[in-house]
Amino acid sequence: MNSHVVMNGTLDKVTEVSVSDRKPIVTYAGDKELFLGLEPTLCSSLPQEAAEWRRTYGRAIKSVNVSATFVPFTKDVLPKEGDYHLIDQPMFHTYWTQCSDVEYYKSNVREDIELWMSVLQQFKLSEWMIVVVETYDFRKSNKLLPRTTVYDKIKSDFGAKHADRCLSVINPLRSESRSAGSWRGLVVNTRLLLLAAFDRILLKFEETLREQRDRRNQVGWSFTKYFLLQEELAFVLEMLGVYEEALVQYDELDALFTQFIVNSNLGETPAWLTQFQTPLESWQGLSLTSGVNLKERARIENNSCSLLQFRNYLFSRQCAMLLYSNKPSEVAERTLPFLHNCIRELYLLEVACPVGSVPTWVFLSSVEILQICDTYTDSVHVEQYSRYTAGIWAYARQKLSELGKLCGLMPGQVPSSEQLHLAVEIFSGLGEANTKPVEKLKRALSNHQEFYKMYLELSELAMGTYKHIGRVRCARSLGQDLSDFYRVLGDDQTAASFLQHALLSYDQDGWTKLAAITRLRLASSYLALGDLHRYTKMCLSIACSTELDMPLRMKHYSDALNTISTSKPDPPWSCCLTDCFILTDVDVQVHQGGMNVSATLGIKSLLPVETVSDSVSMAISQYKHESKSSSKHKEALENSRRKSLDSSSSSNLYLLKIPMTLRHDYQQDKSLAGSSLEVKNTKQIVRRQDSHGKYRKISNIAKADFTRYLSAKKVVLKPGLNSVHLTCKESEAGQYRLGQCCITLMEGFELLSPPLPQKVIFEVSHIQPAVLLINHGDMLAGLVQDVTLKICSNSYSVAEDTKVKLKASIGLELKDGDKDWSRVLEVKLPAIKPNSSLELPLKMYAELPNIKDCTNLEHNVMVKNDWSEEEHAIGLNLKPVLSSKLSMQTSKHSKFLHVAVTSVTSLSIKSIVMTPLSSSNVLLIPLNPSMETTTLTPERKIFFMWKMEVENITEHSPFKTELTLHYNPTSGDTTSKKDYIYKCTFDIVNYKTIYLLECRVEPIRGSEFCRVSTVCQLKLKVTKVNKESTVADPDCNSLMYEVLTEHNMWAACGRTAGVLNLTDMDEQTVLLDVMPLVNGYLPLPSVRLSKYIPAGAKSSSGRSEGHPRLEPFSAGQVYNLSKSSQVHVISAASPQDP
């Protein structure tokens, strides 16, 4: 069957032929019966293996599976000149013979072959092959003479130039086992020869094509004719299975056509192109078939093809080639450029397109492509084509919406009769084709519901595919489109959700203008939904969008305020602070003492007008840090002045000063290897900022814990930078961290900041109130002292009537105002503000203790107060105002008491009385001049003297006397207390005179004077005063005397010390030699008497001592009669002076 005939003749029956199913046509001649016997084997074995198609001009070697259709050789089937239907033409001619007899060959077969060859030559055909089929013969196996077989003859007769065209094969039907090798040879050769034949023929054909193409600018040249011609080449390639090559042919044609149209726009339009400029009557969609659409091809042949039809045909052929090559993704890839290109060509050629025709065509074509792609479910393919189908889905959706608008099917539209008519017209342009895409379109355009369904399905698929391939922005953009659809449909909820996503995408990328537009839409969606909270949020955001016009911003601003004031939300609505305000700067000040914390916020308002905020507050929370780092934090706090900057706003990284340090690198020998500048903390500067954390998320920020906060009321925030001062009423001691910032608008809307990017920590330290007692100068015991009770509130405020209880130690009395003196004093305080102090005057009186010396007195006052559990003591150190010292004076038996009274301040004293206590037989006779008062000053001691008369001298028991005197301070208030009385008790013991000591220095006998360097005699006489006393005190009977001489005056000779026993006698005299060393009145050498307690004697303490010891006498027991007496020493006698 000649397919060419089919193409021209039976259009109505067959609309499609598959070229790839066709096989190259090969003729056979000669022994037909023989061939027909071999044909099945040959036909089946040819395509079994691929043969390499080596092509001229260095074209790529293709591997081709050759098959063939065999037809008998007749003159009719041979191609005629100018017939270019290559696939219908036999490309290769074979001659088959099994003649084995050379004689028979010479007589018959040769003639037949020559005849055959002449026909071939007549048709200028050179692609032939002669096959000699032999029967295997053992006898012939050992041929001795060459060129004796028929095959040899044929080779010599015909294969002079083409030896390879003459083949010999052992008939496989007769002896299969022996023929395999030769048969394979035949098959291989046949393949190669056949392909070579194609190569040559195509080469020739290409020459023809080139000629044709070169004539393209000549009058009368037609692209369609050329197209059909070149397509023949494509057909051949397709038939051979080299689809890529076939595609190249189509692509060339495509490019050529496109170029013609582009050129026509610039220059003259060739005549053939006018065919494509006829008004569009049919807009059938693309139909992808693997075969050739004969109907369309016939139209091209008849020049009755419209631009769209031609393009459809060409593209479907290209797609067919791609699909044969298993490249559905490339089909998808080419689709959008193809569709766009066609539309552009329609525009360039000024083709009159009825309304709706082009969108219909695009929609149908897209759907067709998508359907084809859907048949490839292999994941690799899906992954590949999804990158392109997403766009196709979106495009189909767009076109459907255009059609929907035209036909009045979009939401809110009611199709008019014209629009209904248009729908009919649209379908009229589709002919009778009833493909799936057409059915889809018909269903979609039938009514609203179907249309919505289809539209949403396409949108969903487009968005889904976009998301799948990671083009989120594209998906969001579609979503935004879709939100319009939903809004008109009345589904504001869905519309809003699409818009939210789009907004997120724009905000993330920082496309403020698009974000602002989206916010406008979103605001109206929320308003429609009645979601006033979100509406208000959006309105505020819009008011802050500088991209928008001021009136629009103002309108939304006032809308927002109106909404808040009318709806009075409780609990308050909230939104992110950063929508309207930017926190640029936070500075915390902790005031001295820590009661007041204030913060200064730098707030940049983005709102278009001045706004009054009810309150601006900032949460603070207790900051718990790791114990280790505490000190560090404190340091940091001090260093950084607790200041932070919002990194996102004002700090521009490019303007930062880079902290560089100089660095020297040394070699091992300490010589400088290099020096460089380096930045230690590179992370701070070189850190990646783009990929993380910077995106602002539109999420609801939860309100932080605002139990502790800093705040400012009624704050006016102007557009631009504001400085807001926040204060905190009271806060406990501790470390705090600044938390969320909250700006309240209209009492119903809170703008909450995200957490601060930096930790702002401050420390509030509290100092307990302190209670002090202060006086001016030294505190004195024995006089009323003015002291001041000072209360420093420090960090606390002291409430009114807070009590402070003072408890003094024994001997100390306190007095507050007019109250009585007491040891315990309770003071009620007035209110005291923090960091202030209160001073209360108090009077204090410390009793003078009954002591003689003037050591300081230690007192303390325990303070117990309401704010503290613990008592604490205030130590006081008081100086006694008066002190006195008694000394006993003796004159033989008479005793005198001598008292020195000293004072540390100026006092007037009177009524000085010394009264013996506990001993009635002692009489003290004052020897003082009688006086009323006398003044005692620190510089002026006063001495008093009493003579002591003891009635019974023998007793001499110890007794006590008491000094009493009245004193008053000479200055200051004397009214406070009546006379102060000073009492001091003295113990008087061992006052009785036991021994009298008398010393005398006399010149030695014969001399008149004591002379220097002359030995004199020291006479030491100890007399017992009372004999009875020895009984009373046996210790006193043994005495030790010691002569203590001034070394520069006296030199003692002999025993200067000795023991005297006066047990039995009343008087002892010791003579000693002394020698004066200097002349003049010399004081006598002093003599010391001590009690001598011999070893083994019982001591007064009742302890037996191992060795003797001395005990001193009390003052007054020994009376030195010659105390401070002197002796006159004259200078040594000269030798002349006898």
User: Which residues are near other proteins by CB under 8 A?
Assistant: 262, 266, 336-337, 340, 343-344, 347-348, 391, 466, 469-474, 477, 506, 508-511, 513-514, 517, 652, 654-655, 657, 690, 694
For the bound state, the minimum distance from the C-beta of residue 642 to other proteins, rounded and expressed in Å, comes to: 22
**How far is Cα 565 from Cα 573, in angstroms, rounded to an integer?**
12
Q: Please state the closest distance from residue 271 (CB atom) to other proteins, in A.
A: 23
Residue 231, token pair as written in the block:
């397509």
SS3 of 337-371: the string is HHHHHHHHHHHHCCCCCCCCHHHHHHHHHHHHHHH
DSSP letter string, 774-831: EESS-EEETSEEEEEEEEE-TTSPBPTTEEEEEEEPTTEEEE-TTSPPBSEEEEEE--
Least Å distance, CB 404 to other proteins, is 18
CB of 81 to other proteins, least distance (A): 40
Q: Name which of 332 and 881 has its Cβ closer to other proteins.
A: 332
Tell me which residue has tokens 């023991």.
1059
Biggest alpha carbon–alpha carbon distance for the chain: 211
Cβ distance to other proteins smaller for residue 402 or 450: 402
Instruction: Identify the H or E element spanning 336.
Output: helix 328-348
- Smaller CB separation from other proteins, 99 or 499: 499
HEC readout, 198-247: HHHHHHHHHHHHHHHHHHHHCCCCCHHHHHHHHHHHHHHHHHHCCHHHHH
The CA-atom distances, in angstroms, between 782 and each of 654, 879, 1005 are 78, 9, 64
The residue among 376 and 466 lying less far from other proteins, judged by its C-beta, is 466
CB of 693 or CB of 1102, closer to other proteins:
693
- The dihedral through the CA atoms of 13, 19, 22, 23 has a sign that is positive
- Minimal distance in Å, beta carbon 475 to other proteins? 9
Least separation, in Å, of the C-beta of 47 and other proteins? 38
Q: What is the DSSP string of 632-686?
A: HHHHHHHHHTTEEE-TTTT--GGGSPP--EEEEEE-TTS-EEEEEEE-S-HHHHH
| Shortest Å distance, C-beta 477 to other proteins | 5
First-residue to last-residue Cα distance in the chain:
196
Nearest distance from C-beta of residue 387 to other proteins, angstroms:
8
Which CB atom, from 340 or from 1123, has the smaller least distance to other proteins? Answer: 340
CA 130 to chain centre: 86
The nearer residue to other proteins, 154 or 474, going by C-beta atoms, is: 474
Which residue lies nearer to other proteins by CB, 516 or 863? Answer: 516
Q: CB of 965 within 8 A of CB of 913?
A: yes
Question: In the complex, what is the shortest distance from the CB of residue 487 to other proteins, in angstroms, rounded to a whole number?
Answer: 18
Burial class (CB in 10 A: 0-12, 13-18, 19+), 476: buried
Tell which residue, 642, 685, 901, has the closest CA to residue 782.
901
- 344 vs 725, which CB is nearer to other proteins? 344
CA gap 767, 595 in Å, rounded? 10
Report in angstroms how near the CB of residue 521 gets to other proteins at its nearest: 12
**Beta carbon of residue 357, minimum distance to other proteins (angstroms, whole number):** 15
* C-beta of residue 715 within 8 angstroms of C-beta of residue 612: yes
The Cα 1054–Cα 146 span in angstroms is 178
Residue 74 CA to residue 27 CA, distance in Å, equals 8
Question: Considering the complex, what minimum distance in angstroms separates the CB of residue 640 from other proteins?
Answer: 19
User: What is d(CA 415, CA 93) in angstroms, rounded to the nearest whole number?
Assistant: 67
Residue whose CB is less far from other proteins, 53 or 506: 506
DSSP code string of 815-839 = E-TTSPPBSEEEEEE--B-TT-EEE
User: Which of 372, 399, 371 minimizes the C-alpha distance to 283?
Assistant: 399
Q: What is the 3-state secondary structure (H, E, C) of 71-111?
A: EECCCCCCCCCCCCCHHHCEEEEEEEECCCCHHHHHHHHHH
Nearer to other proteins, 341 or 822 (CB): 341
Q: CA–CA separation, 22 vs 885, rounded Å?
A: 151
Closer Cβ to other proteins, 394 or 791, answer by number: 394
Token code pair at residue 378: 């292999």
Instruction: Give the tokens for residue 223.
Output: 């692209």
CB of 702 to other proteins, least distance (A): 28
Smaller CB distance to other proteins: residue 320 or 462?
Answer: 462
Of 654 and 1081, which CB lies nearer to other proteins in the complex structure? Answer: 654
- For other proteins, the closer CB: 191 or 399: 399
Which of 502/861 has CB closer to other proteins? 502
How near is the Cβ of 530 to other proteins at its closest, in Å? 28
Nearer residue to other proteins within complex by CB, 209 or 346: 346
Q: How far is CA 263 from the centre of its chain?
A: 60
- State in angstroms the smallest separation of the CB of 184 from other proteins: 45
**Contacting residues for 468 by C-beta, under 8 A, at least 6 apart:** 386, 390
Give the Cβ contact number of residue 909 at 10 Å: 22
Q: How far is CA 1083 from CA 638, 1127, 1128, in A?
A: 78, 6, 9
Closer of 231 and 481 to other proteins (Cβ): 481
Sequence-ordered list of residues with C-beta below 8 angstroms from that of 963, at least 6 positions apart, any chain: 884, 886, 899, 901, 912, 913, 914, 944, 982, 983, 984, 985, 986
Closest distance to other proteins from the beta carbon of 511 (Å): 6
Question: Quick one: which of 385, 384, 392 has its CA closest to 367?
Answer: 392
**Residue listed under structure tokens 């410390």:** 846
Are the C-beta atoms of 583 and 566 separated by less than 8 Å? no
To other proteins, the closest distance from the beta carbon of 182 in angstroms equals 51
Contact (CB, 8 A) for 997 and 1122? yes
Q: How far is the CB of 655 from other proteins (least distance, A)?
A: 6
